[in-house]
Chain A
């Protein structure tokens, strides 16, 4: 059944909100990835006393070791976002590959595998992250792998459901009947039909990945000090908020703005895809 949704009246304001979210995302991405190129000083050099207020030489003040907050801010974003993108790609590739395969193969074996997938989905993702990080301390690969693997079961479930729907349609059965190979069926009949679902799902996984990666930084997992990382900056400087709150508030604001904007965008995209899919299956 179609959800009782009427978005018609609010289209103009929701369009504006979507553009604002896209703008915020681009801005944070620019700070994170252009930042290391724009920053002039060293992110690990001491330039003043700890938690100094903004002043000449350190426009946003200093952190708990007297390092320049502005420089650390410009250097600390890309690792969080790059790991999130990598983990999303990993989850989407693994989830889509296994999801298509399970969606097209026999029922019984598939059900057994899905019980296992449900099991992984119950496993708290932060717990997986902390376990992998305990085994491989000081290692960003552990964060990438944990965040990616934590998202894979959800991705797999969505893709498998979409594939099963396509697999039951006439053209896939026709293609199989005229002797097309499975890779050809996947390439020409399945993938074009589930591409929208996969992309919308990747958006949702990316939101979760940003959350988890930032949390990893905050908890001090992954490559450690003295590298700058927005999540860890917040933790390192919590003690000095009374003297200089900027090294806590600015990375928190950037992470919050990005996470919220991406979440709203992913919700819009997923909503569009649902409308698109239900419109298509209605016709």
Chain B
């Protein structure tokens, strides 16, 4: 199959998936009986005030109509207005999203080389000492919730050693790159949990390839060590590992929300956390939809990258 039909087929799955996820996003905030009205109007509001809030937010209409309106607006690039502050949701997201993408991109720059090196070290020698050390170490880090890791790093590096800033404040209108030291701890934490996931994926793909006939054949030809790992195991392991990495990207979105919250980093994850705390339903829904789209796009990109990296395509031509 050439690239055209492959991309079309993937898009034909991804677009309806995003539609279904948007219904899930909208439905999830309505699923449980909560009282958004009294949360906004305040506990001491009179019945008339509560009615006014309900009327202003359009909560008296049925959920299906409201979903269709919301989804239609989203298609036109309009996600409604935030309850608090009264600014457009898309404007709020647009001002924070670049910061988050910068954080994620930097974390990925650390994660990928380290994961590939460690995973290959363990996978190409599955069962040996280096594998046991790497695998146990990775399992230890993977066991730690991100917020615990972030908190301990914060305490050690910022509060005790006073090496780095505790809160990742960005001056109004500036970018995090103006004060790069605020990026260190968030990137490190996010990369640590990414490495824990990525190393395991590369390791299991590598172990499978290392047990394959063609690697055995290379071994019999006298190829060993780094050359065997890089030239013979890595090409076969990279494609399945990349694809698997796309599938766990949802976990990394969660990690970014937590890391931004711990360090007060002004990204879309912190915005979401604050929106949840303020019960700002339109803002929560808008950010959740954008995060779903990002997750899906990551899965799609990983699929495309895995296909491009697959060595079998080269020999099949």
Contact = CB atoms under 8 A, between A and B. Distances in A.
Contacts of B146: 215
A10 interface: yes
Interface stretch (B3-11, B32-40, B89-97, B229-237): B32-40
Contacts of A127: 25, 250, 253-254, 257, 288, 291-292
Interface stretch (A44-52, A64-72, A134-142, A183-191): A134-142
Contacts of A256: 143-145, 148, 152
Interface in B90-111: none
Interface stretch (A34-42, A118-126, A193-201): A118-126
Contacts of B299: 122
B14 to A, nearest CB: 10
Given A134-B276, A137-B39, A249 B155 contact: yes
Contacts of B284: 130-131, 134
Contacts, number: 171
B229 to A, nearest CB: 14
B19 to A, nearest CB: 10
Contacts of A234: 147-148, 151
A136 B33 contact: yes
A123 B159 CA distance: 35
A48 to B, nearest CB: 21
Contact of B208 (A3, A7, A131, A241): A3
Contacts of A1: 208, 211
Interface size class of A (residues with CB under 8 A): 35 or more
Contact of B207 (A4, A132, A241): A4
A54 to B, nearest CB: 17
Interface stretch (A168-176, A257-265, A275-283): A257-265
B134 interface: no
B30 interface: yes
A150 to B, nearest CB: 9
Given A124-B254, A245-B159, A219 B273 contact: yes
A228 interface: no
Interface in B189-214: 204, 207-208, 210-211
Nearest to B258: A215
B54 interface: no
Contacts of A134: 29, 34, 275-276, 279, 281, 284
A133 B277 CA distance: 9
Contacts of B151: 234, 238, 248, 252
A238 B154 contact: yes
Contacts of A136: 31-34
A121 B249 CA distance: 11
B21 interface: yes
Interface in B20-49: 20-21, 24-25, 28-34, 36, 39
Interface string A192-216: 0000000000000001001100110
B191 to A, nearest CB: 18
Contact of A137 (B31, B148, B211, B279): B279
A122 B145 contact: no
A220 B29 CA distance: 17
Contacts of B211: 1, 3-4
A128 interface: yes
Contacts of A147: none
Contact of B143 (A126, A139, A260): A260
B253 A126 contact: yes
A281 B77 CA distance: 54
B126 interface: yes
A263 B139 contact: yes
Given A215-B146, A245-B159, 13 more contacts: A3-B204, A3-B207, A128-B28, A130-B276, A136-B33, A215-B145, A218-B145, A219-B273, A245-B155, A248-B155, A249-B155, A252-B148, A264-B143
12 contacts: A3-B207, A4-B127, A120-B24, A123-B250, A126-B257, A132-B31, A136-B31, A136-B34, A139-B34, A215-B254, A231-B147, A252-B151
The 7 closest A-B pairs by CB, nearest first: A126-B254, A263-B143, A136-B32, A260-B143, A131-B28, A124-B250, A136-B34
